[in-house]
Amino acid sequence: MATTTHILGYPRIGEKRELKFALERYWRGDIEQSQLQQLGSDIRAQNWSLEQDAGLDFATVGDFAWYDHVLTTSLLLGHVPARHRDGNNNLDTLFKIARGQSQHNACCQGHAASDMTKWFNTNYHYIVPEFSAQDEFSVTWAQLFDEVQEAQKLGHSVKPVLLGPLSYLYLGKEVEQGFDRLTLLPKLLKAYQEILNKLVTLGVTWVQIDEPILALDLDSRWLTSFQPAYQALQCDLKLLLTTYFDSVTDVLDSIVELPVAGLHIDVQAASQQLEQVAQAIPEHWVLSVGAINGRNVWRANVSEWLERLQPLKRQFGQRLWVASSCSLLHSPVNLEHEAKFSQEVRSWFAFAKQKVAEVVLLGRALDGDEHAISQCKTYSQPIEKRKSADYVNKPAVQQRLNSISANLAQRSAAYPKRAHHQQEAIGLPLLPTTTIGSFPQTGEIRSLRSDFRTGKLAQDDYITAIKGHIEDAVKRQEALGLDVLVHGEPERNDMVEYFAELLSGFQTTQFGWVQSYGSRCVKPAIVVADIEREQPMTVGWSTYAQSLTDKPMKGMLTGPVTILCWTFPREDISRKTIAQQLALALRDEVNDLQQAGIDIIQIDEPAFREGLPLKQREHQAYLDWAVEAFRISASVAKAETQIHTHMCYSEFNEIIESVAAMDADVITIETSRSNMELLKAFEEFNYPNGIGPGVYDIHSPNIPTSEWIEALLRKAAEKIPVERLWVNPDCGLKTRNWSEVDASLANMITAAKVLRKEWQSE
């Protein structure tokens, strides 16, 4: 009657981001591929050993990826975009798909990187599969099978994980007009059959097959495709159909008809589905309950989960499995490295390693282990204690929240009148050029911040050095001829963590890194109490930068919704309440900036679309409070103060009305990878305010030509009136080097000047 315990995946970056640094060394040519491969093997071995030592019943295999797991699936299936095919799919092929080719003008020679977008409503990114009618699938990349054998040789009982065929197709896009990628399913299933049969020959008994799209509002074509698809996948394996991020009760009738051996559900994202699913699934199925939150860092209240799951244990016996809610790749790796946490603060949290232990503890308690049952009660006490702590709920913040009214979210004038005032005050040319905010975070800059944090550098010396980098950034921008400048953000470690360190109510970490994509890792802060601003956060840096130039200088803030989405939130209050607290704090910063003479203020909301719930019926409630939060932060701006916002990798069609309701004077968006396709939403809706469609992809080292950028701007002008068109890169430039930035921006400005001259004369 033992309860099987497992996780859906483990972080692949290494405890100290070893994979990140190795990837970047490889891309620079500093190490050989064999060295990179060895590092990956070492990380996998460490992860599997940790899982076995903790007491999990399976070592999860196939959760390792060199860039992201969807791209790994593409290589496994031999599904490579035509422009990257060279007849020999290998690791470098994978990197070309993800990053483009830095040695060529890739945008113009057919080697552009594939599109990248967010993984459901997380801050993890994946490379979007591209589908055409001519596509074939061929299982020629052996990484999964090699890793299964690696784990078996190390003595582990393995459970491979595969992204399911329907989710793989759904998460891609067609690259031919009039083509339906779902028609590729029969071909795709043959490849999946081959994969599963190969796993059978390797002695595998269980496969975790992820179909997260079952938590979405699927149309009937996709939903009805599951039955024949999974019928075709029958073999001598047990398939655990795995869902996460939301409830699957809407499609439960279809799920229970599938020929699989079990179902995993995420009861952290949708707790209410547990009992309904338990009643509906077939008697021979396993029910895997994702009770340990894979997306947050708070210690689990295992005592509460034990009480809730005990009736199911009596009902299901050994058919009840306990697991993480989703892959732990969304969690930091190991709490043990947070040496600066007090004992009390440490007792609130659990990172990936600790979550593995929580899964095992809960499983043993469900099996009646008296020591584990006692441990559950003791382990949960710090979370119970926090509920009544006076340092968590602050009366002053609560009072201000209670005073929020509709007027607080209204600008002083409508956009047309504001635009007139702003043009008089700022005086920008047609097609004004700018950047999104950050400039290269050089090794020197990172060393300065590190030395300052560790006490090696005095505060005055640090400020002087950072001002030097700001001065350099301003001079470079003036030399290039940009119209609206930024200070470059050399003082900021991260666009969210920087503010979290300056706002009361956050806990930051030393090593709480989480993979975003490829070698890009972020270190989310944790909301631990009510949030308030105690002093200005950006005014000094922005006003110093403005003092160096006569050109307008943008103040740079991260918006309330993005700070919320890119931090680990409290679990005892709503996301709406946290967003309101952040909005009030940022409102004070906006006012201080404009009072200090900063006439353009950018409030970035790249996570606005990401925060959207997966279920359509829940969209409007979220959009209402998300828009309100942005407007509260921005509406203190005077009519002549120009408010910008920036959004990343968003499908805007379904939220375009809410984007317009944010009422930013200018919105900049990422559009170059989609070849301006994302602008269709703004054209069809007739978006009324200024727009800066990104004209080159900053995630690739490729240098765009001025002709390429000019062509993109002409496409943009077909959809957006030129008098409201801005020219800018796709995103911030912190991950690039100065040679790439200078060359790319020079070409961008050249293209803008050519078109400015042409369109002004018409």
520 assigned to a ligand binding site: yes
Position 118 scores a pLDDT of 87
CA dihedral 14, 15, 17, 19 (to 10 degrees): -20
| Whether residue 316 sits in one domain with residue 204 | yes
Is 638 annotated to bind a ligand? Reply is no
Whether 284 and 305 map to the same domain: the answer is: yes
Strands annotated E in 362-457:
none
DSSP one-letter code for 309:
H
The pLDDT of residue 105 is 37
What tens digit of pLDDT does each residue of 478-489 get?
Answer: 999 999 999 999
Q: Is 20 annotated as a binding residue?
A: yes
Residue 500 has pLDDT above 80, yes or no: yes
Report d(CA 427, CA 422) in Å as an integer. 7
Q: Are residues 413 and 319 in the same domain?
A: no
123 marked ligand binding residue: yes
Q: Evaluate if residue 679 carries a pLDDT over 90.
A: no
Confidence of residue 107 (pLDDT cuts 50, 70, 90): very low
Paired tokens of 186: 């029969």
Q: Kindly state whether residues 559 and 633 are assigned to the same domain.
A: yes
Catalytic pick from 125, 337, 487, 699?
699
d(CA 680, CA 181): 21
Q: Mean per-residue pLDDT for 649-657?
A: 77
pLDDT at 634: 98
Q: Is 19 labeled as ligand-binding?
A: yes
With a CB cutoff of 8 Å and minimum separation 6, the contacts of 655 are: 608, 609, 612, 619, 623
Q: How far apart are CA 364 and CA 373, in angstroms?
A: 8
| 471 closest CA partner among 490, 458, 484, 492 | 490
Residues 412, 351 share a domain: no
For residue 574, is it within any domain? Answer: yes
Q: Which of 578, 577, 542 is nearest to 557 (CA)?
A: 542
Same domain, 285 and 410: no
Q: Tell me which residue has tokens 């990826």.
A: 65
Domain-located, residue 105: no
* Amino acid 106: pLDDT: 36
Q: Does residue 140 share a domain with residue 59? A: yes
pLDDT at 108 over 60: no
Asked whether the beta carbons of 230 and 253 are under 8 A apart, the reply is no
Average pLDDT over residues 413-429: 95
Q: Which pLDDT belongs to residue 258?
A: 98
Distance between CA atoms of residues 263 and 476, nearest Å: 57
- Please tell me whether residues 70 and 189 are part of one structural domain: yes
> Quick one: pLDDT at residue 85?
87
Helices 33-54/143-153 angle, 10° precision: 50
Please say if the pLDDT value at position 612 is more than 70. yes
Q: Where are the alpha helices (DSSP H) in 427-531?
A: 443-453, 459-480, 497-502
Strands 4-6 and 320-324: parallel
DSSP 537-588: SSHHHHHHHHHT-SS-BEEEEE-HHHHHHTSB--SSS-HHHHHHHHHHHHHH
3-state secondary structure of 635: coil
Percentage above 70 pLDDT, the chain: 98
In a domain, 57, yes or no: yes
**Residue 649: pLDDT band by 50, 70, 90 thresholds?**
low
Question: In this structure, is residue 470 part of a structural domain?
Answer: no
Q: What is the mean pLDDT of the chain?
A: 94
pTM of the model as a whole? 0.91
Report whether 436 belongs to an annotated binding site: yes
Q: Is 565 one of the annotated binding-site residues?
A: no
Chain centroid to CA 670: 15
Q: In 10 A of CB 479, how many CB atoms? A: 10
In the chain, the percentage of residues whose pLDDT exceeds 90 is: 86
Classify 154 as helix, strand or coil: coil
Cβ(409)–Cβ(423) below 8 Å: no
In single-letter form, the type of residue at position 10 comes to Y
Report yes or no on 180 lying in a domain: yes
487 among known catalytic residues: no
Dist CA 240 CA 632 (whole Å): 46
Residue-level pLDDT at 674: 67
Say how many C-beta atoms besides its own lie within 10 A of residue 392's C-beta: 15
Q: What is the pLDDT of residues 186-200, one digit of tens each?
A: 999 999 999 999 999
Residue 462 lies in a domain: no
Closest CA to 299 of 376, 393, 392, 366: 376
Q: What is the total count of domains within the chain?
A: 2
Q: Are residues 383 and 418 in the same domain?
A: no
Bridging pattern class, strands 520-522 and 514-517: antiparallel
Domain identity same for 118 and 197 = yes
Contact 358, 300 (CB under 8 A): yes
Q: Is 670 annotated as a binding residue?
A: yes
Per the listing, tokens 């001025």 go with 706
Q: Which pLDDT does position 101 carry in this prediction?
A: 62
Task: Indicate if the pLDDT at residue 669 is higher than 90.
Answer: no
Q: Does 694 map to a domain?
A: yes
461 appears as a binding residue in the annotation:
no
Of 367, 387, 407, which one is at a domain's C-terminal end? 387
Domain assignment present for residue 464? The answer is no
Domain that holds residue 358: 4-99+114-387
- What pLDDT score was predicted for residue 695? 86
Q: Mark which of 347, 367, 387 sits at the end of a domain.
A: 387
Residues 590, 596, 600: CA angle, nearest 5 degrees? 55
Q: How far apart are the first and last CA of the chain?
A: 80
**Kindly report the CA angle at 13 between 11 and 17, in degrees rounded to 5?**
135
6 contacts 54 by C-beta, under 8 angstroms: no
Each residue of 13-28: b (16+ CB within 10 Å) or e?
bbbebebbebbebbbe
Q: Is 489 annotated as a binding residue?
A: yes
Confidence of residue 673 (pLDDT cuts 50, 70, 90): low
Q: pLDDT digits over 681-703, tens only? A: 777 888 899 999 888 888 778 89
Residues 365 and 494 in one domain: no
Beta bridge partners of 292: 324
Q: For 688, phi and psi rounded to 5 degrees?
A: -90, -15
So what's the pLDDT on residue 467? 97
Task: Give the pLDDT confidence score for residue 102 in this predicted structure.
Answer: 39
CB 437 within 8 A of CB 661: no
Which amino acid belongs to residue 383? I
Which residue in 447, 411, 438, 424 sits closest to 639, CA to CA?
411
Per-residue pLDDT of 349-405, as tens digits, reads 999 999 999 999 999 999 999 999 999 999 999 998 888 777 898 999 999 999 999
The count of other CB atoms within 10 Å of the CB of residue 396 is 9
Same domain, 286 and 146: yes
Is 731 annotated as contributing to ligand binding? yes
The string of DSSP codes covering 57-76 is: S-EEES---SS-HHHHHHHH
Distance from C-alpha of 710 to C-alpha of 714, rounded to nearest angstrom: 6
Please check whether residue 702 is in contact with residue 105, taking contact to mean a CB–CB distance below 8 angstroms: yes
Sorted by sequence, the CB contacts under 8 Å of residue 591 that are 6+ apart come out as 636, 637
pLDDT band at 436 (very low <50, low <70, confident <90, very high): very high
Q: For the domain that residue 569 is a member of, what is the CATH number?
A: 3.20.20.210
The residue type found at 406 is A
| CA 78/CA 135 separation, integer angstroms | 10
Task: Tell me whether residue 107 is annotated as binding.
Answer: no
Nearest in space to 369 (alpha carbons), one of 445, 427, 306, 295: 306
